Amino acid sequence: MRIVSVVGTRPQLVKAAALLPALRSRHEDLFVDTGQHWDEQLAGVFFRELGLPRPDRSLGVGGSSHAVQTAAMLAGLEPVLIAERPDAVLVYGDTNSTLAGALAAVKLGIPIAHVEAGLRSFDRKMPEEINRLVADRLSRWLFAPTPTAVANLAAEGLGDGVQLVGDLMQDLASRVSRDVRDSAVLAEIENALDWDGPSLAPGRFLFATVHRAENREPAALHAWAALLSAASRKDRPVVLALHPGTRKALEKQGAQLDPSVHVVDPLGYRTSLTLQLHAAAVLTDSGGVQRESAWLGTPCLVLRGTTEWVEAVAESGGRMVIVGLDTAKALRELARLAPADGAPDDAVRRATGLRLPESGAAERIAGALSEIPA
């Protein structure tokens, strides 16, 4: 089958890195990057680190408002699809690139495959929720990562073409996990980051990421800045990997972070996974980081009011908790999940015992694409 795969953001590059080897072993694939995460800092490092082939087509759309960005992607994708006439267009996740790929394909009568179908936050204020809903309604193949995602689709009357395949990101995390177990890598990370805080030792730091649009709103931004500041200590700093857009919003609002919260640029995949594994705990609004911390066994506080990854919370044995932006709740959970006197030993045991299996999602998806659902 001839397939056009559409990506545009860092999480989509991770998923593509997991899927492309299996996809290209069975199908002819044209890899298109919209450029939604357009700079070297956000995307370029992922191509190098994950061994991804350079895109066959790069649209170079870049950042703008949702409408302008999506429109530019549609204008860029349409001539590619007309010229290539693929048998299917494959989209990942819930971004503007996902929406544009699905809309461009359906207007041309090309079947759509949606990886990570069925995820729901049930919060339509989130742009990602709208993108998911539209992509799922338009898709012929709906590749669901979890049983809850399958149930969500069924509740919406979507059953044809739905397949429970597992999580692509687990496949890639499994392949990389053996490279991140040794805590000696932390010293290399310190050098790469030009780190000026206390030594990054297992269980003696917290790792955080913030990038969601709702967490760039002024009230939310001040709330999470206060939460991270309260969670940090001089002897247990927070490593905060911050999206450029979130950093600009932080600076514009003049929100203050405690000196023990160390802001760093977006990190490469292995570096992020290493810091998650060896941290005392993870604090994040990222769906990808939530799942990675769950697979690694690291305590995780979700800095949102809801999550699409309900299994990650339900199956964590209490080690993943939705705290929103409630500082008091976050501090209580940190004291329970990552006490200062126990977190270092916990981190060492976690890394030593890490054995992460693949989910098999890549092979299931590549195999399913051999036949178009009725």
198-224 pLDDT tens trace: 999 999 999 999 988 889 999 999 999
Considering the domain architecture, whether residues 338 and 192 belong to the same structural domain is answered as yes
Range of the domain at 267: 178-352
Considering the domain architecture, whether residues 204 and 336 belong to the same structural domain is answered as yes
Whether 158 has a pLDDT exceeding 80, the answer reads yes
Cβ atoms within 10 A of the Cβ of 117, count?
26
Considering the domain architecture, whether residues 331 and 211 belong to the same structural domain is answered as yes
Considering the domain architecture, whether residues 123 and 219 belong to the same structural domain is answered as no
Considering the domain architecture, whether residues 90 and 190 belong to the same structural domain is answered as no
Whether 42 has a pLDDT exceeding 60, the answer reads no
Q: pTM for the whole thing? A: 0.90
Distance, in Å, from the CA atom of 315 to the CA atom of 297, rounded to the nearest integer, reads: 11
pLDDT in the model for residue 64? 76
Whether 40 has a pLDDT exceeding 60, the answer reads no
Residues catalogued as catalytic: 211
Q: How far from 278 is each of 7, 156, 239, 250, 263, CA to CA, in Å?
A: 30, 40, 12, 27, 18
With beta carbons less than 8 A apart as the criterion, state whether 14 and 169 touch. yes
Q: Is residue 126 part of a domain?
A: yes
Give the pLDDT mean for 4-17. 91
Considering the domain architecture, whether residues 232 and 140 belong to the same structural domain is answered as no
Helix, strand, coil % over all residues of the chain, rounded to 5: 50, 15, 35
Q: Is residue 221 part of a domain?
A: yes
Considering the domain architecture, whether residues 319 and 364 belong to the same structural domain is answered as no
Whether 46 has a pLDDT exceeding 70, the answer reads no
Considering the domain architecture, whether residues 131 and 193 belong to the same structural domain is answered as no
Considering the domain architecture, whether residues 200 and 96 belong to the same structural domain is answered as no
Considering the domain architecture, whether residues 277 and 303 belong to the same structural domain is answered as yes
In which band, very low, low, confident or very high, does the pLDDT at 274 lie, cut at 50, 70 and 90? Answer: very high
345-369 pLDDT tens trace: 999 999 999 999 999 999 999 999 9
In this structure, what token pair is assigned to residue 21? Answer: 């080897």
Counting the structural domains of the chain, the total is 2
In this structure, what token pair is assigned to residue 198? Answer: 């206390």
Considering the domain architecture, whether residues 163 and 182 belong to the same structural domain is answered as no
295-348 pLDDT tens trace: 999 999 999 999 999 999 999 999 999 999 999 999 999 999 999 999 999 999
